[in-house]
Amino acid sequence: MTDRYARGRLKDEEARAKLVPLAPGERPRAVTVAAIVALAMAVANVAAALAGADLAEDDQSALTGTVLTTGILVLAGAGMWRAKYWAVLGFQIVLAFQILLLSIALLRVERWWMAVGVVVAIGLLGWLFWKLIRAMARLQMPAR
């Protein structure tokens, strides 16, 4: 068991040594993509609300939900644009919930092309989630 632990620690140290610290004002590409996705999701959220697509039973809770989720997405998008670690971490939480909700929605899909769209969305969001992990490591790295 100790041998496996030592090998794992060695791999971790090698991975850390390969990471390059960010230059001042630099933002990883995955974080830039995530910021754009977050802001696009916020715009889509407002557009859906204006079009009358609400999941709540009454108008007040629909408005509250739209304002809350749009605010979170805008805050995360703006924070990621400024390359803030907390914003990337918060957006990963949003991505995880979105992936889970889309996975549950896949159970209720009635048309094959909708299932393909949901699976593609899950794949793209999962890919972005994975890419943000390395970007988060670079964002929290101390300058060498």
Read off the pLDDT of residues 5-40 as tens digits, 9 standing for 90 and up.
888 888 888 877 777 777 777 889 999 999 999 999
Is 6 a domain residue? Answer: no
Its pTM surpasses 0.85: no
Tokens of 96: 């995880």
Is 7 a domain residue? Answer: no
The pLDDT value given to residue 120: 96
Domain residues for 117?
28-139
Contact 42, 74 (CB under 8 A): yes
Read off the pLDDT of residues 56-102 as tens digits, 9 standing for 90 and up.
556 667 778 888 999 999 999 999 999 899 999 999 999 999 999 99
Is 132 a domain residue? Answer: yes
Is 1 a domain residue? Answer: no
Percent of the chain at pLDDT > 70 equals: 90
Contact 67, 59 (CB under 8 A): no
**Residue whose pair of structure tokens reads 């794992």 in the numeric block:** 8
Is 107 a domain residue? Answer: yes
Is 2 a domain residue? Answer: no
Is 9 a domain residue? Answer: no
Q: What is the mean pLDDT of residues 50-57?
A: 68
Domain count of the chain? 1
Is 19 a domain residue? Answer: no
